[in-house]
Amino acid sequence: MKTFLDREEEIKTLTRIFRAGGKALLKGLRGVGKTTLLLHLREKYGGIYLDFQRIMRPNHLSKVFEDETGVRLEFEDAYHCLEELFEKAKRLKLPLMFDEFTELLVRFGAVHPYRGSGGKDAVASHLRSLLQESRLPAFFSATSLKTLVEVAGEYTKPLARAFDVVITVHPLKLADAKKLAEKLAKLMEAPISSGSALRVAELTGGNPGYVRALTYMLPRGPTEDEVEESFQFLLREGYFNALFSGLVRELSPSEVEVLHVLARGYNRYSQVEKMTPGINLNEALSALLQRGLVTRVEFSRKEVRYVITDKVLEAWLAMIPFPSMRQTPYKRLRVATLGFEALLRELFMHIRSEVEVKDTLGRMLVIPPVKTVYRYEGALGEVDAVVVTMEGSIAVEAYFREKCPPEKLEQLERSIAIAEKREGKVLAGVLVSYFGFEKRTLKDAKQREGIFLLTEREVNKIAARFGYRQL
C-alpha cells in the first residue's frame, strides 16, 4: 500500500523537468519527504538512485551503481568516477537521482584529486560541468542547507546555475498527515481512531518522517493519551532523541547554545545576545539560517525575532538539560511549542502587510500588519494567541478536532475581554477550527458582532499569501 500523500504540485513540476531533460533540486529539513519524492520518480520513470548518506568513497559509488544497473564504473580516482557515472548513465539513458548530494561534495572533496584543489567547491564545479553537458534529467535532494548555500547559494557559486528548478519541500498539511497515520496503521493491521490520528498529525507538525516514527511506535488501537506517551518517549530516549542528538553534533557550540535559548522562548535578538555572552551571535544566527533550522521574522527595524523551524526539534531542545537553562516541562511545551495553536501563532507572525480574507460566514476579516504575537496565560485566564497589529489587537482561539462546538465561542469572548484589558483596542475575535464548525456554532456566531470563523481553507489562503507553509 502506498503512503504517498499531498505532493501533487511537486510531482507536476518534477514531471515537467523530467520530460524536458532538466535538473531539479529538492531542499528541506529531515523527514519532510524528499527521499520519497525521488523514489516515486524512479518508480514512475526509472532511473539510478544514489543515496550519498551511505556512499563514503568512490568505490562505494561504483558498488551502488552496479547494484542499480548491473554495470560497473571503471575509474582511477574520484574525478574519473564522476566522469564514468555520467557517461554510463548516458549510455543507459537513465536519469540520475542524487539523495543528500551535499555529502558527495564533502566526502569526494576530501580525497584526491579534489583535496588540495578546492575541496567541495572543486567537486561542485566538476558536477556543474557534467550537468551542463548531460541531456539526462537529474534530480537532487539536500538537507545540509549550509553546505548547499556555500556551493550554490549565490550566482557566483559553483552550482548556482546548475538547477532549472529549486523546490522547498515542506511538511504535509495536517489533514494529510492524519491520513498518513491512518494508512500506516492500517498497513500494520493495527487501525487507529480518528482522534488518535489527529493527535499524531498535530504533535509531529505534519512531518511525514515523524508521522511514521510515531505511528510505528504506537500500541494497537492507541488512545490519545497513549499517543502522547509514545511521543514523549521518542523525545526523551527514542527516535527523536537519537535524530536530534546526531543533528546537534554537526553544529558548532555557539549554534547549539543559540538554539537552546530560542527553544526556551527568548527569540528577540536582544534577549539572545544577553543570554549568550562571549559568542559571535551574528555568525551563529547566520549559520542556523543557512541550515534552515531557524527563520528570521522581521516585524520592524527594531523588532526582529528568530524562530526554530522544526517544532519537534524545538520541543526536544527545551526538554533536555543545558548549562544555566531550565528544562521546560512537557505540559508547558504542549501548548507553547507543539500543536496547531503554536503553528497558528507562527503564521500570524508572518503577516507583514494588510490582508483580507472572507470567513466561513461570508464576513470580511481585515488583518493589518502584525507587530507581535504571543500566547497569554496568567491571572486573567488563557488566550491561544493575542495578535497585536498596527491598528489594534485580535484575539484568536484554536480548535483542532472534528467540527467545533458552540462552547468555543464563549471561550473566544473571554479571550477578547482579556486582550482588551492587556492591549486596549480589539479589532476582532477569530475562532479557527481546522475541520469546520457544527451548525449550532455557525448559527450562534451569526448573532455576534466582531466574531470571525476560519477553517483550514481560509488559514492556508493567508499562509500562501505570505509564503508560509500550508497547514
CATH of the domain at 461: 3.40.1350.10
One domain, residues 325 and 371:
no
288 occurs within a structural domain: yes
Number of domains comprising the chain: 4
pLDDT > 90 in the chain, percent = 78
* Cβ–Cβ < 8 Å for 69, 48: yes
Name the β-bridge partners of 24: 139, 165
Tell me the pLDDT band of 434, cut-offs 50, 70 and 90. very high
Tell me: do 284 and 371 sit in the same domain.
no
152-161: Cβ within 8 A, 24+ apart: 152/25, 152/124, 153/290, 157/124, 158/121, 158/124, 158/125, 158/127, 158/128, 159/124, 159/127, 159/128, 161/128
- Domain identity same for 280 and 377: no
Q: For residue range 32-67, what is the model confidence (pLDDT) as tens digits?
A: 889 999 998 898 889 999 999 999 999 999 999 999
Kindly report the pTM of this predicted structure. 0.90
Split at pLDDT 50, 70, 90, the class of 155 is low
Q: Can you give the pLDDT at residue 465?
A: 95
Contact (CB, 8 A) for 126 and 99: no
User: What tens digit of pLDDT does each residue of 58-99 get?
Assistant: 999 999 999 999 999 998 899 999 999 999 999 999 999 999
Grid cell locating 425: 483596542
Q: Quick check: is 470 in a domain? A: no
Q: Residue 382: what pLDDT?
A: 95
Domain that holds residue 248: 243-336
- pLDDT for the residue numbered 144: 72
Model confidence pLDDT, tens digit, residues 186-217: 999 989 999 999 999 999 999 999 999 999 99
Q: 49 with 101, same domain?
A: yes
Average pLDDT in the chain? 92
In this structure, is residue 1 part of a structural domain? no
CATH code for the domain of 230: 1.10.8.60
Give the confidence band of 464 by pLDDT, cuts at 50, 70, 90. Answer: very high
Q: Is residue 451 part of a domain?
A: yes
Residue 154 has pLDDT above 70, yes or no: no
CB 391 within 8 A of CB 433: no
Q: Which three cell numbers stand for residue 196?
A: 488518535
Note whether 148 and 31 are same-domain residues.
yes
Q: What is the CA radius of gyration of the chain?
A: 24
pLDDT at residue 280 in the model: 96
State which of 111, 144, 168 marks the end of a domain.
168
On whether both 353 and 283 belong to a single domain, the answer is no
End position of a domain, from candidates 115, 137, 168? 168
* 54: CATH: 3.40.50.300
Q: Quote the pLDDT of residue 1.
A: 40
Residue 2 lies in a domain: no
pLDDT at 438 over 50: yes
Question: Do 84 and 27 reside in the same domain of the chain?
Answer: yes
50 shares a domain with 164: yes
The Cα 119–Cα 105 span in angstroms is: 8
User: What residues form DSSP beta bridges with 299?
Assistant: none
Q: Indicate whether 4 pLDDT > 80.
A: no
Asked if the structure places residue 367 within a domain, the reply is yes
Task: Give residue 148's pLDDT band: very low, low, confident or very high (50, 70, 90).
Answer: confident
Kindly report, residue by residue over 221-255, the tens digit of the pLDDT: 999 999 999 999 999 999 999 999 998 998 999 99
Within this chain, do residues 458 and 366 fall inside the same structural domain, yes or no?
Answer: yes
* Pair 368, 327 in one domain: no
Q: What is the mean pLDDT of residues 333-357?
A: 94
User: 98 φ, ψ to 5°?
Assistant: -105, 100
For residue 3, count CB atoms less than 10 angstroms from its CB and return exposed for 0-12, middle for 13-18, buried for 19 or more. middle
What mean pLDDT is predicted for residues 317-336? Answer: 93
User: In this structure, how many other beta carbons lie within 10 angstroms of the beta carbon of residue 91?
Assistant: 10
pLDDT tens digit sequence for 109-143: 999 999 988 999 999 999 999 998 988 899 999 88
Picking from 71, 63, 101, the residue whose alpha carbon sits closest to that of residue 87 is: 71
Residue 179 has pLDDT above 60, yes or no: yes
DSSP state letter for 391: S
Give me the pLDDT at residue 163, please. 87
Q: What is the pLDDT of residues 357-408, one digit of tens each?
A: 999 999 999 999 999 999 999 999 999 999 999 999 999 999 999 999 999 9
Domain C-terminal end among 188, 214, 236: 236
What tens digit of pLDDT does each residue of 22-35 get? 999 998 888 888 99
Position 341 in a domain: no
- Write the CATH number for 276: 1.10.10.10
What percent of the chain is modeled with pLDDT above 70?
98
195 and 146 together in one domain:
no
274 and 150 part of one domain: no
pLDDT, position 291: 86
